[in-house]
Each structure stands twice: as C-alpha cells, then as structure tokens.
Amino acid sequence: MHPTRTFPTGTGGPGAPGFAPRPGFGAGRPGFGARPGPASPGGGLLPPTEAAAPARPARPGQRGRGAPRYEKNKEVALKGYTPRAGAAQIPMGEVPITKSITVTEGISVKDLAEKLDVRGKDLIATLLMRGVMVTVNQSLDGELVKDVARQFGADATVISVEEQLENEAIEGLLEDTTGLVEVVRAPVVTIMGHVDHGKTSLLDAIRSTDVAGGEAGGITQHIGAYKVHVTKPDSPAFGREIVFLDTPGHEAFTRMRARGAKITDIVVIVVAADDGVMPQTLEAIDHARAAKVPIIVAVNKIDKPEADPSRVMNQLAARGVQATSMGGDTEFVEVSAKKRLNLDQLEEMICLVADVNEQKATPERPAVGTVIEAKLDRGRGAVASILVQNGTLRTGDSYIVGNTFGKVRAMFNDRGQEIKEAGPSTPVEILGLESIPDAGDTFLVMADRDKAKGIAQYRKMKEREAQLAKSSRVSLEGLAEQIKQAGVKDLNLILKGDVQGSVEVLADSLQRMSTEKVRVKVLHSGVGAITESDILLASASNAVVIGFNVRPDRKATEVSERENVEIRLHSIIYELQDQITKAMYGLLEPVFKENYAGRATVLNVFKITKVGQIAGCQVLDGLIKRENQVRVTRDGVEVWKGKIASLKRFKDDVSEVRQGVECGIDLAGFKDIKAGDVIEAFTTEKMADELGRNSAEAKKERDVAALKEAKDRENEVARAAADTAKNEAEAASV
C-alpha cells in the first residue's frame, strides 16, 4: 500500500480494522533478513510521518523535486556559448590547404567525410550552413565537393568513374601482374570518305557480303562494325583478324565520322578514282589527323575507263597527304570493289601499318569498350553495338554505360551468331540494357551492380539538371534575341529513328536548317517505332512526326487519323532535308506583288438613276481590264482602293479599254469620285516569301563583326595611348 494512502477509519495499515493481514507480509518472510531502517510493528510499512527515511544528499548539479530545470543566467547568451566536448567542430573563415584528395563524380556525403577525415554530422552541418539540405547517402555535385573540401583544408580533384576504374586497373597491374598477360590485339580500321565513293561496297567485297544493296538510296546512314579474317593462304597476313568500322559519307553525318575516328587504330580514306577529292574526303582526313591515327588511302573504282589515280594522289598531296612513292608517309593502294582487285594488298597494308603501331590489350581484365550504335528492338528491347577495346566481356557481366546500366543477358557477333565471351577488338551486340545509351559512350564492366545503378542514376539526374538549366536560363542578350524573334515561325518536329546515332545527327542537322524567318524545333527525338504517345505530343504541340527508317504502329496510325497529325516517313537523309525545306516555305505568309496595268484620268462624273456615279475617263497609258484592281489618287494621295463594278464603252459593256480610248468606269462602293482624279489599274501576284539567311551563319557573321569591332576599339585605344606618350615625351624634351 502506498505510504500516503488513507482509509475511511484513518491511516491505513496491515492491522487496520476491517482488513485482514495480507498473507506473506508478516513480520518474518522466510529467506529474507530484516530490512535496514525502522520497521512498523507487525512488519508493515510505517506512515511517512513515522517511517520517512533520511534524505540522501543531492549530487552536485542535480535538481531536486520542484526545482527549476536550469539556472536562469542571462549572461550566458551575452558572453557567447562554449560547446561541450564532442559537439560539431565547423571551421570558420579561411583554412590553409594541407592535403589533396581525389574523389569520383557523384560521391556521397558519407564517403566524402571519410576522405576528409571528418565526422559525417560535421560535414552535413557545413552543407546546411551553405543552404544545402542533404543526408549521409546523398550524392554531391563536383563544384560543391571542391568548395566544401577547401573549407576543411583539402584540395579536391573530381574524376569520372571511367578514370577511377582505369586508375584502379593500372594500380592493380603495378601491384600484381601474375596471370595478366598483354597480347597484341586485332587492329580497328575505320573506312571513311565522300558519299558514293564505294566505302560499303569495298567492305562488302572484303567480307564477301552485300550490305550496300540493302541500304536505302544506296548510301550508308549508320556506323557498322565487322570482323574480317584474312583467308588467302599465300598472303603474309594469313590467319590474322581485322575489325572494320563503316561510317556514313553524307555531309550531315560529321559527328558519326568524328566518333569513328576516335575509337580506331587506322583510318582508310576511300577516294573514287573517277571523282577525285571531295569535301567529305577532306573532312575525313581532318578527323583522322585530330585523332592522331595513321592514314591509308584506298583509291577505288580503278576499273572505270575515266579513272585517274595519279590525279587523286596530286590532289591529296596538295592538301598535305603525300604518298610514300612521292617521299611522303601515307600508303596508297589502288583497288576495285566491283572487280575485287588488290583487296589482299589492302589487307596486307593494314596489317603492316598495325604492326608498326602495335596495339596491345589485357584479356584477363574487366572489359572496357565504346558504344558504336544503339537501337530499340521490338522483341529484344534496348540493343547496343559495342566494340570491346580491352579486357574480356562475358555473358552475365554487370556494366555501366553513360547514364544507364545493365547486365549482359545475351551477346551476338557481327554475323548474328550468339557468343558467350568477347575479347579485345571484338564488335558485339548486347542485350540487357535498362535504357538506350548514347552512341560514343564508354562501356565499363563493374563487379558491383548496385554501385553501377547509383552512378547511372546520378548521371541521369545531372543530365536532367543541365537540360532544365539550359531551358530556364534568361539573360539580357537572350531576352533581346527572343524579342527579335517574336515574329519567327516555328516548325515543330517529333523525330523517331532506328538507331541512336542517326537520331542524334538528324536532330542536329534539322535544327541547323533554321533561318531568320522559320525556326526548326525538334521537340522530342527517340529510337524505335512511332507510338501513340508521340502522336498525342504532336497533336498537343502542333508538330509533324518524322519517321527515319521506322514506321508507326497500328494504334499510332489510328490516333494520327483521329487527331489529324501528319506523319512523314523517310529513309534517305537528303530527301528528308528537301521535305523540311518545303515545309518551311509553307509556313511563311505569302507575298503579294503588284504589277502595273494602266492609268486613266477622270474627265467628268455622271449621276445615273438607280446606278449611281459613273466616272467618264480617258485611258492615258497601258490597258484597263474589268477584273483589275484599282486605286483612286487625288493630288498624289490614295483615297480609295477596290475593284471595278462595270466597264462601259458608250452603252456597251467591254472587258478592256486600251490607251487613248474614252470609257465609263463604275467603282464598286466608292461614290466620292471627282473630276481630275486618277484611276490606276493593277494586278496582284501571289509569291512565296524568302526564308532568309541561315540562323547559324547569321549569328557567326554577327560574332565575327562584334569581334572585329572590339579589336578596332582596342587598336584605337592603343594608338591614343601611344600618341599621348609621344606628346608627353616631346613636351618633356622641350
């Protein structure tokens, strides 16, 4: 019973009247000694007045019952607060740089704290003071990492995941090289040149296939990768392998050619002997030089009667590509893809140049490669063509590529046969991508799938942030440009293609077709068939859907008919560009041109009942017809413009009146005609407006003009300063 509990008869206890003693609570409990302190008679608890135990002395700092929770000292806030031991220590002001750290892109707060050797909560507090709300597992931006690291006295270098893995691989090789052997890999050769010079036909002749025959318009519009075995027994290169990359030659596919030159060991420039050096030939040479790879020139079509290989050699020599026979360092091989002439010589020359510039790889390390093309297959999902450049890729490997990741579910070689592993210099097609990567992205095998997923998500987030920042950024110059382009018509397009590389190039080339009066805007571009969502987006934005080597599915066709959305299907790039140009002309308002017909002067005005006023005129020059439009001028000022209601000669209606003849003209709706007015007849012709200059070229000209103006101002200031100095020197000498 509680010591303060009372009963109706008084203070309660075990012996209170009306209450029997509780069993087991007697004076002596078996096995229990007497408790210290005074006990009540009968072993019960005493009332607090009699049995209150002496109070223990309070510990220093301990508050008693009813005491205030803290000491109210107003001077604490005034004199500053000293943190207790273990509180977060956040650096304030400038901190000297004492160490350097290297971190990967998208590093988490926890990992950065470990690198900086600080507690996670201290780092979070520092970020909070900068207005950044994060958790320990959240990724940080590269610039933010550098700023925060500097605040903790560290100089941070942010590297990509590819660089980190490459560094780890190099460190691993330096530490332990057992079982890792470097081998000479097959050379990767890119075929480049002008459109229709026979690049794909030459490759077909080497591979004994017919790829060119199945391409739209007979021109290549993708990058293709193929592996070739030298099978001629008496050839010095017998048994060796060569990997060929075939690039498009059309001028729009510059980006593809640049990508092909970057991932190659040797560039073969194909030049038609009957056509000579052309613009894309020179561009291909520039790409090869920029990539610092050796060049072999294949002079094709030597079987034609008008072929002149020496002219090709002289043209290239004039541009710095000199044959070895003329004292240069570039090998020339004369071939014919159609007649299969000297193909073995070309293969041997490729192997010879490859031996001089020997390329090695380590098959035992995790695979590293580059995406050549990527597409969306109806039955297989996202599919990417990969060129394995180092290491060995196996089925089941987890990887990261650009801003996506995945696991190799299946792998096929260039002839469509399924394989389980692919060594260095092997082009393969892989399945198992989460989404479509960009062509040219680096492909990396990673042991930790979760880490690959995290990096891919971080990259996707950064890409989205960059796009949003680009679309929302407003400057004074941009605002002035928007005001200037207020009357510009927009041609909205939704572009779908068969492979990522083509879509990327087409979107860029179509947008560069914009002019001062019509702006081409690609609202959405993607890989795969035209879907219902594409049609709905086009309907909402008043856009035209362009399909390049793809077709709409059945549902999309039905929706397009219902929503009245136009779908244009193309398979050849120059036909697509022609159609877009025509569509741009169609957006322009028509221009009406006036053609002078004749002129008459009003001699007198006649009022006729039920008809109105008739102008009695004489034709001064030209010819006035009844269907002409006319304007009335009085003292050189136009007072009315309209049509002729009737044209009479005496009482007869006539269709036309010639110079020097008098006539009566009834002007429809104009009754204020006076003698002395001049009636001028004219016809209008509807004409298409001009598109104006290309926007990119106009901007380039403006930039050049602004740069020239700035230089002129700089020169004027320099001349003025020189004149002043000269005058001062002359004054001092006097």
88 near 124, Cβ under 8 Å? no
Residue given tokens 């739209």 in the structure block: 216
Phi-psi category of residue 653: left, alpha or beta, with phi > 0 → left and psi -120 to 50 → alpha: beta
User: 224 has which bridge partners?
Assistant: 246
622 near 646, Cβ under 8 Å? no
CA distance 733 to 128: 66
Q: What is the pLDDT of residues 154-210, one digit of tens each?
A: 888 888 766 666 565 555 544 444 566 778 888 888 888 887 777 878 887 887 743
The secondary structure of residue 321, as a DSSP letter, is -
Please identify every stretch of the chain with a pLDDT value under 50, giving residue numbers as ranges: 1, 7-18, 24, 26-28, 31, 33-34, 36-53, 61, 70-85, 87-88, 173-177, 209-222, 249-253, 472-474
Amino acid at 504: E
CA distance 386 to 207: 20
Residue given tokens 């068939």 in the structure block: 529
CA distance 383 to 233: 37
Task: Give the CA count within 13 Å in the CB-facing half-sphere of 94.
Answer: 1
User: 633 has which bridge partners?
Assistant: 638, 678
- Amino acid 257: pLDDT: 55
- Reported residue count of the chain is 734
Neighbours of 409 (CB within 10 A): 13
263 near 188, Cβ under 8 Å? yes
CA distance 29 to 26: 7
Rounded to 10 degrees, the C-alpha dihedral 302/308/312/318 comes to 170
User: 332 has which bridge partners?
Assistant: 297
How many helices (H) and strands (E) would you count in the chain?
Answer: 18, 32
Q: What is the pLDDT of residues 321-373, one digit of tens each?
A: 888 887 788 888 888 888 888 888 888 888 888 888 778 888 888 888 888 88
- Structure-block tokens of residue 701: 């000209």
Phi-psi category of residue 276: left, alpha or beta, with phi > 0 → left and psi -120 to 50 → alpha: left
Burial 14-37 (b: 16+ CB within 10 A, else e): bebeeeeeeeeeeeeeeeeeeeee
Q: What is the CA radius of gyration of the chain?
A: 44
- Structure-block tokens of residue 395: 């089925």
Secondary structure (3-state) at 143 = helix
- Structure-block tokens of residue 380: 């297989």
Q: What is the pLDDT of residues 445-462, one digit of tens each?
A: 887 777 778 778 777 777
CA distance 82 to 580: 72
- Amino acid 22: pLDDT: 55
CB within 8 Å of 309: residues ≥ 6 apart: 273, 299, 302, 332, 334
Strand pairing report for 612-625 and 662-667: antiparallel
- Structure-block tokens of residue 278: 């052309």
CA distance 143 to 163: 18
335 near 307, Cβ under 8 Å? no
160 near 105, Cβ under 8 Å? yes
- Amino acid 460: pLDDT: 79
CB within 8 Å of 328: residues ≥ 6 apart: 317, 321, 322
- Amino acid 45: pLDDT: 44
- Amino acid 463: pLDDT: 73
Task: Give the CA count within 13 Å in the CB-facing half-sphere of 638.
Answer: 7
Q: What is the pLDDT of residues 354-366, one digit of tens each?
A: 888 778 888 888 8
Q: What end-to-end distance do the CA atoms of the chain give, in Å? A: 120
- Amino acid 50: pLDDT: 44
C-alpha angle 704-708-709 in degrees, rounded to nearest 5: 115
Secondary structure (3-state) at 547 = strand
